[in-house]
Amino acid sequence: MVRVLSATRLTRITGEDSCNRTASRFGIRATDLGIMWDDRRGGVLAAFGDTYGDGWGGHGAGPGHADWRYNVIARSTNTDLDAGLKFDSVLQREDGMAGQVLPGDRTGVPEHTVIPTSGISVGGRNYLHYMSVRHWGTPGVWHTNYGALAHSDDGGTTWTKSETAVWPNRRQSWLSRFRRRDQGGHPFQMIGFAGVLDRRVYLLGTPSGRFGAGHLARVGADDLLEPAAYQYWTGAGWGADPLAAEPVLPGPVAELSVQYNRHFGLWFAVHLDEHRAAIVLRTAPDLTGPWTDGEVIVSGADYPALYGGFQHPWAADRPAIYFTLTQWGPYNVAFFRADLA
């Protein structure tokens, strides 16, 4: 059993009072998430959600006129993680500030924003999974149009939304959504890439919102953009129907980050547990489980309105987790280390 000994906030990584001075350098006064993956080119890419510049209100997301970008990406090469996640650069727009990476939907569906959920580099290509948010509901509840993949063949400088790798969400009635806070729906609207094993990419997915369970899928490393090539864990084997996937991680699971920790020889899943108002660590010998109930890493009692919990990929051989964490009030991202035993 892995125990959490302590968690330390190392530094804030976004906002002008952070180690990166992102307001003056990149036009990022406020943002959230900080999803990280190894770009296989000597760096780590970090994707952020709704991002604001001049005119930001000082608490939470918005307003929309404050240089709002749906998503941005920064790159880091520093290996001294105790010094924080330091950014060398961002994907820029014409004025040199951080530019929006993924545009809005152009098919005409109602859409509020485009939020990244996980990234991975496979075979020289970067993949970024995102969700198209149709509607924000009560805290912790939202409805998506679909989850989908974008890809980059130039190290993350330019991105293309795939026209094939799209997983539409089934729509429910307003009454159904009122009665069930997890909203049901497609179980792979948000994902956490786990890694590549035997030329297959494994990932865990959740429905939209923060109250669903985690489900397991895999696909050939060359077939990430082909939905028909995906297989889903049914509890008894692998099948082709994502709606038949059985949960491997009981809910509530939100903002999921998954990777194999070589020091402990276990899979680590870090995520927000909305019921406990905490970022938790769950471990398992295999991706199919059994997964532990979860050790609290950081509590909302100490960091109110927290969410996220995305692992740094370069700490997978240590008796510790380095991860990003967002708080709604400051609406900025900090970098933490949790020591384990």
String of DSSP letters for 176-224:
HHHH-TT----TTSEEEEEEEETTEEEEEEE-SSSS--EEEEEEETT-T
State the pLDDT at residue 175: 35
Q: What is the largest CA-CA distance in the chain?
A: 54
Phi then psi dihedrals of residue 129, to 5 deg: -90, 140
**Which residues, in sequence order, are bridge partners of residue 201?**
196, 219
From the CB of residue 155, how many other CB atoms can be counted at a distance below 10 Å?
A: 17
Residue 21: how many CA atoms within 13 Å on its side-chain side? 2
Q: Which of 99, 75, 87 is nearest to 27 (CA)?
A: 99
Which residues of the chain carry a pLDDT beneath 70?
Answer: 171-184
Q: Token pair of 240, please?
A: 């082709």
* Residue burial 80-91, b: 16+ Cβ < 10 Å; e: rest: ebeebbbbeebb
Contact present, 167 and 242 (Cβ < 8 Å): yes
- Torsion of the alpha carbons at 229, 253, 248 and 125, rounded to the nearest 10: 30
State the pLDDT at residue 184: 57
Question: Three-class SS of residue 45?
Answer: strand
Alpha-carbon distances of 33 from 4, 257, 325, rounded to whole Å? 22, 11, 7
For the question of whether the overall pTM of this predicted structure is more than 0.85, the answer is: yes
- What is the dihedral sign for C-alpha 134, 136, 142, 148? positive
Question: Rounded to whole angstroms, how far apart are CA atoms 288 and 17?
Answer: 42
Phi then psi dihedrals of residue 86, to 5 deg: -100, 130
Question: Rounded to whole angstroms, how far apart are CA atoms 212 and 181?
Answer: 9
Contact present, 279 and 308 (Cβ < 8 Å): yes
At 172-201, the pLDDT tens digits run 443 344 334 445 589 999 999 999 999 999
From the CB of residue 108, how many other CB atoms can be counted at a distance below 10 Å?
A: 6
Question: Rounded to whole angstroms, how far apart are CA atoms 229 and 250?
Answer: 26
Burial of residue 110, with CB atoms counted within 10 A of its CB: 0-12 exposed, 13-18 middle, 19 or more buried: exposed
State the pLDDT at residue 179: 39
Q: What CATH number matches the domain at 4-340, 2.115.10.20, 3.90.1300.10, 3.10.270.10, 2.30.110.10?
A: 2.115.10.20
At 27-51, the pLDDT tens digits run 999 999 999 999 999 999 999 999 9
Domain boundaries defined on the chain = 4-340
State the pLDDT at residue 332: 98
Q: Which of 210, 134, 130, 213 is nearest to 172 (CA)?
A: 134
